[in-house]
Structure formats: C-alpha cells, structure tokens
Structure 1
Amino acid sequence: MAFRGFVWKAFTCGILTLSVGCGAFGGAEVGEVTGKVTLDGEPLSDAEVAFVPTSGGTTSTGYTSEDGSYLLVYDAERDGAEVGEHTIRVTRIQPEAQDGETPKQYEKLPASYNTESELKIEVKSGSQTVDIPLKSDGTVPTL
C-alpha cells in the first residue's frame, strides 16, 4: 500500500513538472510578429523571413507577399515567435519560370541578411510590428 502511494505521488510530481516546464502544456511563451520587408525602399516579395532564437528553441518563419508584408508562424496552432532575442534571416525564394525551368538571373540578398545575419531583435509578449528595411549593399539596419 505504501508503494502505491509513492507511485501516485511520483506520477503527480512528474505531471506537475511537465506542466510547469512546458508552460502548462502550451509550450513556450510566444509574441505575435508581423511586419514588412523592403529592399532599397521597395517591397520585397517572395522572401522567407525566419526568426531564430539566439538561446535555442523553435525557429518561426513567414513568407512575404507582393507588398512585402509577412506574418510569423510558430507552430501549427500559434502565430508568432518565442519571447526573447532572435537572429533574423531573410532569404529570397527562387521563383520557377513558367516553363518549369529555373530562371537564368536571380537576385540574391547579401549574406549579412541570411547565412551570416547580423539582424537582431527582441521579441516581447503580445503583438508587435517588426519592419525590416534592407539595402542592396548589405548595410545592417537598426531594428
């Protein structure tokens, strides 16, 4: 009987630990993030925007529309990004040609915006707008 009580207490403690550690089964705290990406003052369409947590965690992504606007998606159930500091990576999506072949010329963004990104932002809880004004020369804007 004493062993049964021990098992029940261990099980209960395990469930409580999981619920606290996982944000009461809801996962990490997430802030909603929307914004607009521009390149030299013009909307940047067909780009992937990724917010990568600097301390590890789940990367959130969004895709820019024709007017450069994006909405980050954290997971299948929530929009946004984990609260905390992130590195932002912006990558152009190579469009397919009408005939199914890859276009011969393709505009690439400077590495300082993607593979060697120096773009940093602090995501807070609640809703926020993060506009990302990029330059062809790779100058890193203050966000």
Structure 2
Amino acid sequence: MALTQIRRLATISLALAVLATIGCSRGPEVFPINGKVTLDGAPIQDGTIMFLSSEGANEMAKGKIIEGAYSLDCTPGNKTVQIGGYTSENKIVPWQYLSQDSSLSANVTQEAELDFELTSKQKRRR
C-alpha cells in the first residue's frame, strides 16, 4: 500500500470512530413518571405539571395534565413540583401550587407513579 492510501484509511477509521462515539452519547438518565392530579377530589381536566430540580441544577421536566392524568420523563433527584390548571367545575388550581415556593415535592429515583391530591382551602395555623 502506498503511504497516501494508509493515511486515507487511517483518516476514515478515525472519522468512523468519532461518529460512533457521538452517536452513543445518551445525555442524562431519565425515568418515566406518571400519575394523577386532583383538586378537592376532582381530576384536573386541563393543566400543566413541572418537576424542577431542588438541588440548584437548571433542569425541568414538563408535562400536560389531561383528564387528571399526566406522563413525562424526568431526571433523578429531589424536585419541586408546580401544578396549574382547572377542573371540570372550573375550579382553578390555587397559585400556591404553581408558584416558585410550591409546597409540593418529589424524589425521583426510578420509574414511578406519583399522584398529587391538591386542596383549594389553605390550612390554618394554630
């Protein structure tokens, strides 16, 4: 083989190895999460659910709530959960569940079903 053919073969081999490596990167691990969301016992008919990283990472998983059910893929870790939407009785999910200070949380460690039962009445402090 001539020197130019060996170089050409080496260049092609290197390019294929780089492409194979790029094609194999999958990004962060994610788990399928699903569940049901209710407000005062009634399913959220139309809404949005977000899982935000509680650990300072800029990660968010967002899904649509339809007839009380949602499904999304989420990275593992402690999450603050924000939920917005309304029920068939036109009850709107209170702001406390959609704000950045939402009291809802979840620890995502594997594929899971996570249900959220919301109330429109705030609990009184004694």
How high is the TM-score relative to the length of structure 2?
Answer: 0.68
> Percent same amino acid among aligned pairs?
29
For 1:3-82, list aligned pairs within 5 A: 25-55=25-55, 56-66=57-67, 68-72=68-72, 80-82=73-75
Gaps of 5+ in 1: 1-14, 73-79, 94-105
CA contact (8 A) 2:50 2:61 kept: yes
Question: Cα deviation per residue 1:42-74 (whole Å; 9 max; x = unaligned)?
Answer: 1111110000011213211111112x00001xx
Q: Return the letter of the residue paired with 1:92.
A: G
Higher-Rg member (1/2)? 2
Q: Which residue of 2 aligns with 1:119?
A: 104
Gaps of 5+ in 2: 1-17
CA RMSD of aligned residues (A): 2.1
How high is the TM-score relative to the length of structure 1?
Answer: 0.61
Q: Which residue of 2 aligns with 1:7?
A: none
CA contact (8 A) 1:37 1:132 kept: yes
Bigger proportion of residues as strand: 2
